[in-house]
Amino acid sequence: TRGFLRIPDIPHSPATYKNSIMSLRTLAGSALSAMGLRAQVASCRHFDVLQGASARAYSTVMDGLKYAKSHEWAKLEGDVATVGISDHAQGELGDIVYVELPEIGKAVKQGETFGVVESVKAASDVYSPISGEVVEVNNSLVDAPAIVNKDPYTKGWIMKVKISNKADMDKLMDSATYSKECEH
């Protein structure tokens, strides 16, 4: 079944399930840490109880990026910032079916919309975490928007912006602060 891991030959008691889930969380956390990522536990809305143990879903928050409250991220390299939506955002949206890309040369302002991401559940405006001029867009998202679901931080970026004000980056959250923001 999609989204579930079957573990055969385990006695079916709530305590055993809880211990198994805790072991899997520890293993997943170690694997993410080795990749420079951090697990963020978020409540799963569709399943409240799994044999007495709470079901949880994980979203990752990557160190070295800056995050907006509206769940976009920016990575500054020189005077160009790569921008996308966070793993938390793509997880909330579900299966992404369309990404509206901005025009190259378009001026974007921090906190203002620059496009739309549509999923099977909803359409959501995407806000620029920084101000500047769009210098590149990820055209691979036109034919394969689900890349954002699979790899939001590397292959699923949306645009690159030559920033006009480096102080915009100081207004964004670091990974630790963003992780706490997503817990609420």
Residue-wise pLDDT for 44-97, tens only, equals: 332 222 222 222 355 788 899 999 999 999 999 999 999 999 999 999 999 999
Secondary structure of 119-143 as H, E, C letters:
ECCCEEEEECCCCEEEEEECCHHHH
Q: Would you state the pLDDT for residue 2? A: 41
Tell whether the model's pLDDT for residue 133 goes beyond 60: yes
Among the listed residues 85, 156, 74, the one whose alpha carbon sits nearest the alpha carbon of residue 110: 74
Q: Would you state the pLDDT for residue 55? A: 29
Residue-wise pLDDT for 152-164, tens only, equals: 999 999 999 999 9
Show the DSSP H helices in the chain as ranges.
Answer: 14-34, 87-93, 140-143, 147-150, 175-183
8 A C-beta contact, residue 41 and residue 58:
yes
Q: Which amino acid is at 44?
A: C
